[in-house]
């Protein structure tokens, strides 16, 4: 009986030892389980950080996009675009000034009518350009360019048929050809969307002016030739009449 009791005690001790060994083994194999598992606070912090990063990236992209958009259709424009805008304003002012001069000095009613059309159309185009320039912070000149002013000075010294001919040649043809080239350059090369659209629309108006100038000039030539022929015929008729009388 004593031996059996002793064996039971030994068996119980062995079982206890095995249990303790198994427990230590479990803790040794998986000590990082608890530390590796992120806490709720850490998870939330990481999420907030990622959200903040994503938001910053989105805000940055949106800001860049807004800036590019502003540069394209409003706000400060490039130096090259500003130069073209100023040149267009000077071209309009030159046509307006020359048109007013022609309305006072032209001999032909056709030239006067053409000049009035130039004053009206270029005044309207200049007003649109001024609004655009103001919105973009561009200060436009108050007078035409040197080339337009030299043209006007030259015309001021002429009168009658000579004035009409030179006005149609200089303001009607040459000045509009120069303006047409400037508009084409702005329509194709301008970085500012508003300036590009303005130039594209204005090209059609200038082309109609060029066509009108050609028709007016041709009509003046026909009238001049008819007048010369009439005077020549009248002279010949008078000469023949005088000869018959003799």
| Torsions phi, psi for 139 (to 5 deg) | -90, 120
Hey, what's the torsion of the CAs at 58, 63, 69, 71, to 10 degrees? Answer: -150
What structural domains does the chain harbor? 75-225 (1.20.1260.10)
On the CB side of 169, CA atoms within 13 Å amount to 10
What are the average pLDDT values for consecutive 10-residue runs of the chain, which has 246 residues? Answer: 58 58 49 46 48 47 41 70 96 96 96 97 97 95 91 94 96 95 97 97 97 95 71 57 54
Tokens linked to 43: 């998870």
End-to-end CA distance of the chain: 188
Instruction: Return the SS3 of 106.
Output: coil
pLDDT computed for residue 18 by the predictor: 57
pLDDT computed for residue 19 by the predictor: 58
Q: How far is CA 219 from the centre of its chain?
A: 38
CA–CA gap between residue 9 and residue 218 (Å, rounded): 135
Give Cβ neighbours of residue 99 (< 8 Å, ≥ 6 apart): 115, 116, 117, 118, 119, 122, 171
pTM: 0.64
**Per-residue pLDDT reduced to its tens digit, 201-216:** 999 999 999 999 999 9
pLDDT computed for residue 224 by the predictor: 75
Tokens linked to 103: 């309305």
pLDDT computed for residue 221 by the predictor: 87
pLDDT computed for residue 227 by the predictor: 66
């Amino acid at each position: 009986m004593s031996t059996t009791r002793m064996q039971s005690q030994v068996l119980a001790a062995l079982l206890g030892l095995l249990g303790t060994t198994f427990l230590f083994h479990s803790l040794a194999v998986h000590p990082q389980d608890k530390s590796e598992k992120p806490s709720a606070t850490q998870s939330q912090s990481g999420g907030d950080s990622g959200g903040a990063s994503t938001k910053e990236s989105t805000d940055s992209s949106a800001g860049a996009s807004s800036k590019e958009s502003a540069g394209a259709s409003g706000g400060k424009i490039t130096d090259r675009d500003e130069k073209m805008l100023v040149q267009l304003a000077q071209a309009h002012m030159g046509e307006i000034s020359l048109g007013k001069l022609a309305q006072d000095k032209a001999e032909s009613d056709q030239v006067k009518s053409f000049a009035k059309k130039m004053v009206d159309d270029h005044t309207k185009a200049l007003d649109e350009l001024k609004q655009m320039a103001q919105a973009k912070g561009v200060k436009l000149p108050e007078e035409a360019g040197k080339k337009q002013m030299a043209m006007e000075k030259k015309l001021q010294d002429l009168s009658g048929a000579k004035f009409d001919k030179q006005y149609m040649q200089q303001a009607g043809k040459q000045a509009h050809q120069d303006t047409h080239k400037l508009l084409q350059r702005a329509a194709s090369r301008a970085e500012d969307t508003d300036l590009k659209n303005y130039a594209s629309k204005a090209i059609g108006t200038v082309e109609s002016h060029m066509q009108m100038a050609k028709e007016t000039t041709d009509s003046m030539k026909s009238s001049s030739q008819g007048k010369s022929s009439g005077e020549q015929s009248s002279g010949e008729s008078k000469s023949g009449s005088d000869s018959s009388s003799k």
